[in-house]
Amino acid sequence: MQEGTRLSFSAADVKALREKTGAGMLDCKKALEEANGDMDKAVQILREKGLAAAAKKAGRAATEGLVESYIHAGGRIGVLVEVNCETDFVAKTDQFREFVRDIAMHIAASNPRWVRREEVPADVIEQEREILRTQALGEGKPPHIADKIVEGRLAKFFEENVLLEQQFVKDPDKTIQTLLNEKIATIGENISIRRFSRFVLGEGLEAKKTDFAEEVMAQVKR
């Protein structure tokens, strides 16, 4: 930037961008310069850089990390999630611990079935594709149009059931994958959401049938 050139943004804008994205102050300043002060464009620039940073670090071994638990709704829903990073030092930082807890909370709220698309069994995808195609044909769509509709609706199926493709409950403008990429860029290590288990109280058990008349009679006899 040439001397005397007036900035199109303020220090407060840099601070706001940092709070919004979690990126470093210098990165936020550079992004705002590149975006000529446009906050939304600066966010996009940082996200693209985060994606590039994540790709560079993807091959690095991540064997440290945390197993976090989250209990929701008065003990009716519980989650265990394992998130890996490269070093024990990062695993102990508040930033990493907060990220892992956010993921556990998100899983409790959004009920994903798989971490990533590659984990979805082929027979599940094929069954879903057949259901969606039958629906499209039932709506009177020609076969060649129905196939295109199926692919669009199948993408929606992944968005609803695959953790990395879900919208983050605390910020629906970004997916869990975007959030993960931002953390990788900010923390500077490869981070991987490895696995999770979600438990719902009474799930799989036959619901107890309540006989209200019997309850009333029991109260009367006391």
Q: Could you tell me which residues come within 8 angstroms of residue 135 by beta carbon, excluding any fewer than 6 positions away?
A: 153
DSSP state of 117: G
For residue 122, the one-letter residue type is A
What percent of the chain shows pLDDT beyond 90? Answer: 50
The CA-atom distances, in angstroms, between 183 and each of 50, 66, 124, 134 are 8, 15, 31, 41
Residue-level length of the chain? 222
**Domain spans, the chain:** 7-57, 121-159
DSSP-derived 3-state class of residue 198:
strand
For the domain 7-57, what is the CATH superfamily, name and number?
Ubiquitin-associated (UBA) domain (1.10.8.10)
Which bin fits 207, alpha (ψ -120 to 50), beta or left (φ > 0)? beta
Q: What is the pLDDT of residues 175-185, one digit of tens each?
A: 999 999 989 98
Give me the CATH topology for the region 121-159: GTP Cyclohydrolase I; Chain A, domain 1 (1.10.286)
pTM: 0.69
Residue 52: pLDDT above 60?
A: yes
pLDDT of residue 59: 76
Residue 18: pLDDT above 80?
A: no
Return contacts of 90-97, CB within 8 angstroms, 24+ apart.
Answer: 90/64, 90/187, 90/189, 91/64, 91/65, 91/66, 93/187, 95/22, 95/183, 95/186, 95/187, 96/66, 96/183, 96/187, 96/191, 97/66, 97/68
d(CA 70, CA 68) in angstroms, rounded, equals: 7
Q: What is the pLDDT of residues 159-196, one digit of tens each?
A: 999 999 999 999 998 999 999 998 998 888 899 999 99
d(CA 1, CA 13) in angstroms, rounded, equals: 18
